[in-house]
Chains A and B, each alone.
Chain A
Amino acid sequence: MENSRRRFLQIAGVSALGLGATPVLNAFAASGAQGSGYHLDRNENAATAKQWAMVIDTRKLSTPESLRPIINACNTIHNVPTEIQNKNQEIKWIWEAPYHNAFTDEVQKFMDESVEHRPFLLLCNQCENPPCVRACPTQATFKNKEGIVMMDFHRCIGCRFCMAACPFGARSFNFRDPRPFIKKTNTEFPTRMKGVVEKCNFCAERLAVGKKPACVEASGGAIAFGDLYDPNSDVRKLLKENYTIRRKITLGTEPSVYYIV
């Protein structure tokens, strides 16, 4: 299993030799120029971690406008089809929600108004103990060595068991071919096909070449990223100095996304 997976997300793959380090993701030739599924090509700058984690300082992101560039950065870079009209069948990797939807079990009767009315960024929590991985019957959803819950779009059968299992609404299903609904296709990242599930991948493809996730870069310092188990990492420093909350911790999934409120 481990082997075939390794083959699939080939680290330092052959393609890197031919194409150099720049196009970090190579579309499979199999289903056209922007085939789905991809090799992850690591270069020498690749960052590693035991468990990648994120700390979002929501005090610095208090208006919907401040979230816009962050959400757009992810959508553009990952070919998220943002033009789907039917809101019930849309694809979301990172999106905005009010406090009482984001933190359903931590809603106080009377709350700090600035927090209550603040918009919150939601994305896959990259749970340390992910129920979506447990549920998947094909291992198309799996946890990689760095704690990222990954999707293999080539293996997914579209049973949507993972969507029922995720208690955070972080997963989206391609109810139809997403390609016509992508504003501008980024050729360095695969597009997906109908019938498969997708979600935030913590920018595994960028980490592999030493870059920070796109949303972190676009946040102007409001989002920190680092290894949860490195006491000197950016995230650990913030966690030491700030009171943070996570979503639905009573469920035991151990989210890796923390929020400073």
Chain B
Amino acid sequence: MLEFAVKGNKWYWGWVIVLLGIIGAGFGIYLMQLQFGLGLTGLSRDVSWGFYIANFTYLVGVAAGGVMVVLPYYLHNYKAYGRITVLGEFLAIAAIIMCLLFIVVDLGQPMRMLNVLLYPSPNSMLFYDAIVLNGYLFLNLVIGWNVLEAERNGVHYQSWLKPLIYISIPWAVSIHTVTAYLYCGLPGRHYWLTAVLAPRFLSSAFAAGPALLILLCLFIRRFTHFDPGREQIQTLAKTVAYAICINVFFFLCEVFVAFYSKIPGHMTHIQYLFSGLHGHGAMVPWMWASMILMIAGIVLTVTPATRRNEASLAIACMVIIMGTWIDKALGMIAGGFVPNPMHEFNEYVPSMPEMGISLAVYAVGALVLTLLYKMAVGVKEEVKA
């Protein structure tokens, strides 16, 4: 199927070259970071994780979101999704690759990365995270590739794939659960220390992942001869609608617990994020923007008219992606680390090199996704013809 990835028009190649350019530039900046150390970033003693880990967290969600097409198709035999499961799986592959890269660029001593495997530490959630993320990457590669190839050959996929497919469903839930456990098991970080963190991560994932998938489907329909299908897009939109409602609901539960109990440790971080504390309020406009975007997303996806209209649905998906990104990536990190456990305020702003490297990681993801989708669409067009 690889031949589909090397055949393309000038737009395709132009896009690939742009991505390669960004990746090259970002790699250059990364070499500088490697040379100098993470001092090139905006990180500090108090905010010791930043933009890299924030994006990592978000993208784990995007990867897990792919399961929202896999599950109805394979468990509920929802036939319509047969056309697009591979798009969900390939999106998960690209997202996981970005996750792993974000972890690597965040390490102080990346050359020693393998120590995680050489000295396995079952106490550490990072150990499990390494296992589940790599496992999920492997599962999606094997499943996506083989199912697509079977489709091309006009045969049913191999029967040994079935168990892997079933395993991949709870596995998708596990990647985001373990990622939430990285945060929510740490004493003294009250913003994260909540049992609802993993459910909250999952709900935002099941909104953001399918929302991105809808946008990709709309793009594919417009620019290729493969139509992922109106019904498919509409069903995905309903998933997004439920998930984004639940996500905001979980957040409101947090707010209730903090502000009804009035326990300062629970309130301070939310206050810092949404109203600023002691003159520190860098996050305030962001967090309100996030809330407004998510609520706009709810209105647009829950209202039948705007959900059915694909133009307004596309807007809904965009605002949901932005809203959940601010909430889960930026807000999660800033809210967790500011104020620090000694109640000191040191805010965090990512540096230019940090953003450049992050952009390059996204470019790698976009490149992987482009190649994979090019193949998928190529097969679909060929089968149709």
Which residues of A line the B interface, CB within 8 A? Answer: 1, 86, 88-90, 92, 97, 100-102, 104-105, 131, 133-140, 155-161, 163-169, 172-177, 193-197, 248, 251-253
User: Do A167 and B189 contact each other (CB < 8 Å), given the known contacts A140-B115, A160-B108, A174-B37?
Assistant: yes
B-chain residues with CB within 8 Å of residue A138 when the two chains form the complex: 112, 115-116, 118-119, 121
Tell me whether A160 and B346 are in contact (CB under 8 A). Answer: no
B184 CB → nearest A CB, Å: 11
- Nearest B residue to A104 via CB reads B343
A177 CB → nearest B CB, Å: 7
Tell me whether B186 and A195 are in contact (CB under 8 A). Answer: no
Q: What is the bound-complex CA distance between A104 and B340, given in angstroms?
A: 11
- Nearest B residue to A250 via CB reads B187
Tell me whether B39 and A176 are in contact (CB under 8 A). Answer: yes
User: Do A133 and B343 contact each other (CB < 8 Å), given the known contacts A157-B109, A167-B189, A176-B39?
Assistant: no
B32 CB → nearest A CB, Å: 12
B-chain residues with CB within 8 Å of residue A175 when the two chains form the complex: 37-39, 41, 43
A-chain residues with CB within 8 Å of residue B108 when the two chains form the complex: 156-160, 173-174, 194-197
Which residues of B line the A interface, CB within 8 A? Answer: 36-39, 41, 43-46, 48-49, 103, 106-110, 112-113, 115-116, 118-119, 121, 123-127, 130, 182-183, 186-189, 265, 336-337, 340-344, 346
B358 CB → nearest A CB, Å: 17
- Nearest A residue to B126 via CB reads A137
Given contacts A1-B119, A90-B45, A137-B121, 9 further A-B contacts (CB under 8 A): A88-B44, A133-B123, A135-B125, A138-B112, A156-B112, A160-B108, A161-B125, A164-B189, A196-B109
- Nearest B residue to A172 via CB reads B45
B-chain residues with CB within 8 Å of residue A166 when the two chains form the complex: 188, 341
Most buried by B among A158, A177, A193: A158
Tell me whether B187 and A139 are in contact (CB under 8 A). Answer: no
B146 CB → nearest A CB, Å: 32
A83 CB → nearest B CB, Å: 14
B345 CB → nearest A CB, Å: 11
Tell me whether B126 and A89 are in contact (CB under 8 A). Answer: no
Interface of A is mostly: loop
Q: What is the bound-complex CA distance between A40 and B298, given in angstroms?
A: 60
B-chain residues with CB within 8 Å of residue A251 when the two chains form the complex: 187-188
B-chain residues with CB within 8 Å of residue A88 when the two chains form the complex: 44-46, 346
Tell me whether A173 and B121 are in contact (CB under 8 A). Answer: no
Which of B44, B126, B344 makes the CB contact (< 8 A) with A135? B126
Q: What is the bound-complex CA distance between A157 and B126, given in angstroms?
A: 12
Q: What is the bound-complex CA distance between A175 and B33, given in angstroms?
A: 10
Which of B37, B46, B116, B119 makes the CB contact (< 8 A) with A169? B46
User: Do A155 and B112 contact each other (CB < 8 Å), given the known contacts A88-B45, A164-B189?
Assistant: yes
B357 CB → nearest A CB, Å: 15
Which of B46, B48, B115, B337 makes the CB contact (< 8 A) with A157? B115
Q: What is the bound-complex CA distance between A197 and B49, given in angstroms?
A: 13
B-chain residues with CB within 8 Å of residue A90 when the two chains form the complex: 45
Tell me whether A136 and B342 are in contact (CB under 8 A). Answer: no
Which of B116, B183, B187 makes the CB contact (< 8 A) with A167? B187
A84 CB → nearest B CB, Å: 9
Q: What is the bound-complex CA distance between A135 and B45, given in angstroms?
A: 17
B-chain residues with CB within 8 Å of residue A196 when the two chains form the complex: 108-109
Which 9 pairs across A and B sit closest by C-beta, in order of nearness?
A158-B108, A167-B188, A195-B108, A88-B44, A175-B39, A194-B37, A137-B126, A176-B39, A176-B37
B206 CB → nearest A CB, Å: 26
B-chain residues with CB within 8 Å of residue A177 when the two chains form the complex: 37
Q: What is the bound-complex CA distance between A139 and B120, given in angstroms?
A: 8
Which of A101, A156, A161, A253 makes the CB contact (< 8 A) with B344? A101
B-chain residues with CB within 8 Å of residue A89 when the two chains form the complex: 39, 43-45
- Can you report 9 residue pairs joining A to B where beta carbons are below 8 Å apart? A88-B346, A157-B108, A157-B112, A164-B337, A172-B45, A177-B37, A194-B37, A195-B108, A195-B109
Tell me whether A173 and B186 are in contact (CB under 8 A). Answer: no
- Nearest B residue to A175 via CB reads B39
Most buried by A among B115, B118, B182, B343: B115
A82 CB → nearest B CB, Å: 14
Which of A102, A174, A253 makes the CB contact (< 8 A) with B187? A253
Tell me whether B107 and A104 are in contact (CB under 8 A). Answer: no
B69 CB → nearest A CB, Å: 32
A119 CB → nearest B CB, Å: 14
Q: What is the bound-complex CA distance between A137 and B107, given in angstroms?
A: 12
A-chain residues with CB within 8 Å of residue B123 when the two chains form the complex: 133-136
- Nearest B residue to A105 via CB reads B265
- Nearest A residue to B188 via CB reads A167
A204 CB → nearest B CB, Å: 20
Tell me whether A176 and B112 are in contact (CB under 8 A). Answer: no
B-chain residues with CB within 8 Å of residue A168 when the two chains form the complex: 188, 341-342
A95 CB → nearest B CB, Å: 11
Most buried by A among B118, B126, B182, B187: B187
User: Do A137 and B39 contact each other (CB < 8 Å), given the known contacts A158-B108, A253-B187?
Assistant: no
Which of A100, A160, A194, A253 makes the CB contact (< 8 A) with B48? A160
A-chain residues with CB within 8 Å of residue B38 when the two chains form the complex: 158, 173, 175-176, 194-195
Most buried by A among B115, B118, B126, B342: B342
